[in-house]
Structure formats: C-alpha cells, structure tokens
Amino acid sequence: MELSRDYSIDPVLLLKEYGLRITPQRISILSHMNQYKMHLTAEQIYHAIKDEFPSLSVATVYNTLKAFIDAGFVKELRVGDHASKFDLNLIPHHHLVCEKCGHIEDFHFIDLPIDKIANMHNFHVRHYHLEINGLCANCQEGHPSYIHQNQIS
Ligand SMILES: [Zn+2]
Ligand SMILES: [Zn+2]
C-alpha cells in the first residue's frame, strides 16, 4: 500500500526539472516532505525547518507549496475543518481520508472502469483521484455503531 513512498527524490533535480528557482528553503521543504513520507500541513513543515531559516514564516511555506502545486508535483488535500495537507504527488495515488482525525492514507490498487466511464460521458480524462471517506483504524475504536450502520454489504 505504500508503493509511492518507496522512491526517493532529489529536490534539486526536481526543481530543475520543473523549471523552478532553486533556493535552500525550497530544497529543505522538499527534503522534509520526502523524508517524512506522509501528508503534512504547512505548519508542520514550518515547525520542522524553521530553525534552519530564522526569517521563515508559515506564509512563505504556503507560497512555496502553492508554487509546487502550480508546477504539478504537490497536491493539496482538504479534509473537512482540518488544515490542508500537502502531498508529494510524483506517482499518482488515491486516498483514504478519516473524517474524524483528518488522517490521510495512500492507496494504489484500483480497478475502476475509467475508460468506460469516460466513453459513457464523452469525457476526455486527464487524471483522476479517488478519495474514500470514513474512519481510520484508530478512530473506529469506540464507534462500533457507526461502522455497523455504514457497512457495505
Ligand atoms: Zn482517524
Ligand atoms: Zn497521498
């Protein structure tokens, strides 16, 4: 289930490849996102690297992430009232989203008839992303009725 996290990125090469300015802050943000292998909020990234860059602000981190999103290799994930999480999206993948704690997990296996759906609607698919909402393993404890009521049988 963690296939997309098996690769490592070289931040400098990545920035070069996408024609973005290479700065120590950008390198540090990308290294951190790559190292922690999970979906992080801008605040989490900020706190992880702020000691390296005394003049850094959360706004700068946001703007940098926006530039990465525009370039196409970072995806912003919004979950209810939780702060947006940012995801290195070099290998397309899908998400299981916990509505209670905001935890997001990656998954890759999918067997949707995308071609058929596209034909039915005469739709030209550029990319797709599946989000499954519910409760993560941790949040299910103490919520047996919720699970039962929403069981797919
Ligand atoms: Zn949860
Ligand atoms: Zn992801």
Quick check: helix, strand or coil at residue 7? coil
Ligand number with the minimum distance to the CA of 80: 1
**In the β-sheet with 104-107, what is the strand arrangement from edge to edge?**
104-107, 94-98, 131-134
CA 89 – ligand 2 centroid, Å: 7
Virtual CA dihedral for 39, 84, 111, 70, nearest 10 degrees?
A: -90
Q: How confident is the model at residue 86 (pLDDT cuts 50, 70, 90)?
A: very high
Examine the pLDDT at 89 and tell me if it is beyond 90: no
pLDDT over 90 (residue 27): yes
Average pLDDT over residues 23-50: 92
In angstroms, what is the span from residue 91 Cα to ligand 1's centroid?
Answer: 24
Q: In the chain, where are the structural domains located?
A: 3-149
pLDDT > 90: what percent of the chain? 59
Tokens standing for residue 40: 């992080």
**CA of residue 141 to ligand 1 center, whole Å:** 10
What's the 98 CA to ligand 1 centre distance in angstroms?
5
Q: Is the dihedral of CA 110, 111, 113, 117 positive or negative?
A: negative
Is the pTM higher than 0.85? Answer: no
Distance CA(51)–CA(44), nearest Å, equals 13
Residue type, 60: T
**What topology is assigned to 3-149 in CATH?**
Arc Repressor Mutant, subunit A (1.10.10)
Residues in the chain: 153
pLDDT band (50, 70, 90) for residue 3? very low
> How far does the centroid of ligand 1 lie from the alpha carbon of residue 139, in Å?
4
Contact partners, residue 34, CB within 8 Å, separation at least 6: 8, 9, 11, 88
